[in-house]
Structure 1
Amino acid sequence: MFWTILGWIVFGLVAGFLARAIVPGKDDIGLLKTIVLGVIGSVVGGFIFGLLTVGIRGFEPAGWIGSVIGAVIVLVIYNKVTGRKIKSR
């Protein structure tokens, strides 16, 4: 159980960090929000992948590429909802 949670934290951190690097602008969201962004992005990526391949599978995590794509989508939506403007780095 501990290793599963730790794995999700590391996985979420890497996917969230990569999403923040891909999306233009400065994102001062902190470490915890980056982890949450990556974990939610993984679920979103898995859902989108499921829709595109075999139909609705439910909420399943995606692999690395799907997780980063999902995290980018979640980050863009988060920036729109919170009113963050895209600024150059």
Structure 2
Amino acid sequence: MSLLWFLLIGIAAGWLAGQIMGNGGYGILGDLILGVIGAIVGGYLFGALGIGAGGLIGALITATVGAIVLIALLRLIKKA
């Protein structure tokens, strides 16, 4: 996967996660950071569960799920 696609998927995943979690977007840079870290988290979680997601849609789903988990964890930490 090229770097451009990775960054575009990161931006889209971060934005989607923000919409799903009710925060809205975090701006281009915030969405990118959230999506890229979410891709790492999602890849780890999917790998641990034995779930494989291939292709562009699979990468977007994996990154979005990871970003959602990341937002949820950040909210838990912020409350404590």
Normalising by the smaller structure, the TM-score range is 0.7 to 0.9
**Mapped pair 1:45 → 2:49:** no
Distance 2:25 2:65 in 1: 20
Greater share of residues in helix:
2
The percent of aligned pairs where both chains have the same amino acid is: 32
RMSD between aligned residues: 2.3
User: Normalising by the residue count of structure 2, what TM-score does the alignment of the two structures yield?
Assistant: 0.73
Distance 2:6 2:74 in 1: 21
Paired residues, what number? 73
Distance 2:65 2:77 in 1: 19
Shift of 1:71: 0.7
Distance 2:77 2:3 in 1: 28
Equivalence for 2:59? 63
